[in-house]
Structure 1
Amino acid sequence: MDVHNAFLHGDLRDEVYIKLPQGFTHSAPNKVLRLHKALYGLRQAPRCWYEKPSTALAKADFVQSYSDYSLFTYTRGRVEIRVLVYVDDLVVCGNDGDAIRKFKTSLGECFRKKDLGKLKYFLSIEIARNEEGFMLTQRKYALDIVSETGLLGSRPEVTPMEQNHHLASDTSYFLQEPATYRRLVGCLIYLANTRPDLSYSVHILSQFMQMPRERHLEAVLRVVKYLKGKAGQGILLSSRIDLELSVYCDADWGTCPLSHRSLTAYVALFGGSPISWKTKKQKVVSQSSCEAEYHAMSIATREIMWLRHLFKDLGFPPTAPARLFCDSKSALYIAANPVFHERTKHIEIDCHQVRDVIKSGVLTIAHIGTKEQLANLLTKALGKVQFNTLMSKLGIWCGWTVAHARRVSPGCICCLNHLDKVW
């Protein structure tokens, strides 16, 4: 649902005065106007508007989630409704059609809104559905990026970034007009919402936003060429009953040649579908690869705890412990062994929360081989073979086939012609 003129519905608590608008004549020229309602452009307008739907939903017995303040839940007997608020857009889902229609009618009494029907396009994310589940892609957004750069006729790249790159230590000339580079990287950051395969590339390229060089622009254009061949890729939220939470974490020790800080990445799979992923440079310098991996486990543990709270707010609290996979046996030994020794005495205290979570039974840890580590896709630039192998295991799909969704293959560009027909 879309709310008309959302920011105009907000009630101001503070006293705000404005000058008389141009062309307005009054006998007292020194008079000012006091606002009773919010206007577009006011700093208070977004907060004032947010209080409006929050109050309306609270009166309708909706409960606001503490894990995500944009999520509101309603549970009465067997009736369950979930509402997600994003500025002036509302996404509503539930298990009772009559209850949802009554809710929409009551919401229309509070402010003007437009019912857009079933969710198909939201925040540049295209949603398709069939018996396999929900397919989330940003195909149109990706093709718009390729079109704006004039690379529709270029040869597609098989990987977003070349192996063994040295972008951090590059000494090529600085760009005279860095605005183009910043715009492209900004577009890629938003595109990464449904593209885990771009997480590492976006992380690397976003570090040179202030003073990009020519070599950095070439790397961005390589990512755009990669999008040209695989614009229809997205994530499939599977409809199967198996709702197991599995998280893969990895770290690349001392990967930054300037700060010598390590790179941390994790990807969370829920029922075999990727729902959360992240690539980020660690805040401190790790003394060893074991310490870097242990920091990665700590960051992944925080994400697991947040996801469990979110699942509980959605109405289905997890019954089984989450599984955390790591390819470092030393880090697993430190997490399982409560004895402090010379190797771990300098590690930050907050990292040791992994042990407490394991003892509580919320989390189990397991070792996985480096070749099967899915988080490798988010920590380093891989070759064609390994990149496509991890992509297929991660749950990255390309459109729908007639019977079921098809896995990504090196010939993914052939699926693009078929994608429009199926959708």
Structure 2
Amino acid sequence: MTQPPGYEQGDKSRFVCKLNKAIYGLKQAPRAWFETLKAHLLSLGFVMTRSDSSLFVRHSVDEVMYLLVYVDDIILTGNNLSSIQVVIDEMNRVFSLKDLGVLSYFLGIEITYVANGFVLSQQKYIRDLLHRCGMESANGLPTPMISNCHLSLNDGSPIPNVTEYRSIVGALQYVVITRPEIAFSVNRVCQFMHSPLDTHFQAVKRILRYLSGTVDFGLHFVASSRLTLTAFVDANWGSDLDDRRSTSGFCVFFGDNPVSWGSKKQAVVSRSTAEAEYRSVACATTELLWLESLLRELRVSLDGRSTLWCDNSSAVAVSANPVFHSKFKHVELDLFFVREQVAAGRLLVNEIPSSEQLADVLTKPLSASSFSRFRERLSVVQLSSVL
């Protein structure tokens, strides 16, 4: 350890410092650790991607290697096992690693390998959450939210333990990583964390009861022959009872597998269904562009341009027609942002029937039959059914 800049004492240059606080408790410790790790990875030939600062890539003529970092947890993969072992040995020489072998568990996410791919699940994480809430024996429910649920800021009574509500909802946000079908429900209950009421807590408990009956469900990834990006976009116009803002939902598929999804309340009030849908299109377009950038850095070539499916004919028409904008002047930035991508040939916006709109489950609560159908199409399956 060297003396901090500005505090050097020349006559005590070989002295050590007595810490009054553990170095891991200092705010700059994570940054210092990452800078140290990054410098070593760069010396090994890795390059930090611009799309994700925690992802490092190393390419050569016939070799590719990806390294993902989360603090001191690391995933390393590539197409040459001997080169991977060389990197592990070199890093172990500097940092004293613990090699856990083939990836099976990472940050609460379990990886189960099946015949035609693998399944990402969070069984242990969900069981621990249910145990913490005292609901490990709760009866399961077919949906995470009733189809006629309308939560409001003022509909209900204050709850005695606000911290418990926030803790559970915060934990549910992490479950969405492998369970896209609960994204809308979790998004709704997140909107009341500042002042939760008993009706909001009942909605949270229903999500937990749904998870109790589907603990062993996970996200199924299969090998795909098509390297394409396809997005499904939907919006629920004026769905919020308190401020009449709309809810946007999108799901992006890489080949046959969902890789990105989201459910979010729009930042402004939309004056029509078409406007709400178009704002969702713009949101999904940004996600597609980011994924395209990430895949380029991973040296993955896409088969054709990205496609975006929307079930609103007006929003589809506005995205391609440079004249049809008299009622969209106030959404000018989103308007030209999407049009620019369409005109450049990087994006194709098509219309799809509402019955086939996969993002529907990300914008509103559905009946049990519809929810089950969309859940299956989002590749969320029971683990025992694919083993």
TM-score between the two structures when normalised by the length of structure 2? 0.93
Q: 2:114 aligned with 1:113, yes or no?
A: no
Structure 1 partner of 2:329: 345
Which secondary structure does the structure 1 equivalent of 2:130 belong to?
Answer: helix
Q: 2:82 aligned with 1:95, yes or no?
A: no
CA distance 1:294–1:13, change in 2 (3 Å): farther
Q: 2:29 aligned with 1:45, yes or no?
A: yes
**Partner deviation per Cα, 1:237-277 (whole Å, 9 max, x = no partner):** 21232222110011111111111111111001112111100
Which secondary structure does the structure 2 equivalent of 1:173 belong to?
Answer: coil
Q: How does 1:253-268 map to 2 (within 5 A)?
A: 253-268=237-252
Structure 2 partner of 1:355: 339
Q: How does 1:12-411 map to 2 (within 5 A)?
A: 33=17, 39-401=23-385, 405=386
Q: Structure 1 CA distance, aligned partners of 2:276 and 2:176?
A: 24
| Deviation for aligned residue 1:170 | 4.5
Task: Please say if residues 135 and 237 of structure 1, whose CA atoms lie closer than 8 Å, have aligned partners that are also in contact.
Answer: yes
Structure 2 residues without counterparts, runs of 5 or longer: 9-14
CA distance 1:253–1:362, change in 2 (3 Å): same
Structure 1 partner of 2:12: none
Q: Structure 2 CA distance, aligned partners of 1:333 and 1:96?
A: 48
| Deviation for aligned residue 1:13 | 6.5
| Deviation for aligned residue 1:202 | 0.7
Structure 2 partner of 1:24: none
CA distance 1:11–1:151, change in 2 (3 Å): farther
Task: Please say if residues 135 and 234 of structure 1, whose CA atoms lie closer than 8 Å, have aligned partners that are also in contact.
Answer: yes
Question: Aligned AA for 2:43?
Answer: K
Q: Structure 1 CA distance, aligned partners of 2:106 and 2:2?
A: 27
Which secondary structure does the structure 2 equivalent of 1:90 belong to?
Answer: strand
Which secondary structure does the structure 2 equivalent of 1:338 belong to?
Answer: coil
| Deviation for aligned residue 1:217 | 1.0
CA distance 1:350–1:240, change in 2 (3 Å): closer
TM-score between the two structures when normalised by the length of structure 1? 0.86
**Partner deviation per Cα, 1:66-103 (whole Å, 9 max, x = no partner):** 00011111111111111001100110000001100111
Question: Aligned AA for 1:225?
Answer: R
Q: Which runs of 4+ in 1 moved over 3 A?
A: 10-17, 31-35
Relative contact order higher in (CA < 8 Å, ≥ 6 apart): 2
Question: Aligned AA for 2:183?
Answer: S
Task: Please say if residues 227 and 301 of structure 2, whose CA atoms lie closer than 8 Å, have aligned partners that are also in contact.
Answer: no
Q: Structure 2 CA distance, aligned partners of 1:12 and 1:399?
A: 54
CA distance 1:33–1:142, change in 2 (3 Å): same
| Deviation for aligned residue 1:32 | 11
Task: Please say if residues 319 and 335 of structure 2, whose CA atoms lie closer than 8 Å, have aligned partners that are also in contact.
Answer: no
Question: Aligned AA for 2:163?
Answer: A
Task: Please say if residues 377 and 387 of structure 1, whose CA atoms lie closer than 8 Å, have aligned partners that are also in contact.
Answer: yes
CA distance 1:42–1:353, change in 2 (3 Å): same
Q: Structure 1 CA distance, aligned partners of 2:354 and 2:17?
A: 66
CA distance 1:15–1:229, change in 2 (3 Å): farther
**Partner deviation per Cα, 1:334-383 (whole Å, 9 max, x = no partner):** 00101154211121314421111112121111111111111010000000
CA distance 1:222–1:14, change in 2 (3 Å): farther
Question: Aligned AA for 2:32?
Answer: C
Task: Please say if residues 38 and 48 of structure 1, whose CA atoms lie closer than 8 Å, have aligned partners that are also in contact.
Answer: no
CA distance 1:95–1:264, change in 2 (3 Å): same
**Partner deviation per Cα, 1:268-304 (whole Å, 9 max, x = no partner):** 1112111100111111111111111111000100000
CA distance 1:12–1:97, change in 2 (3 Å): farther
Aligned length: 380
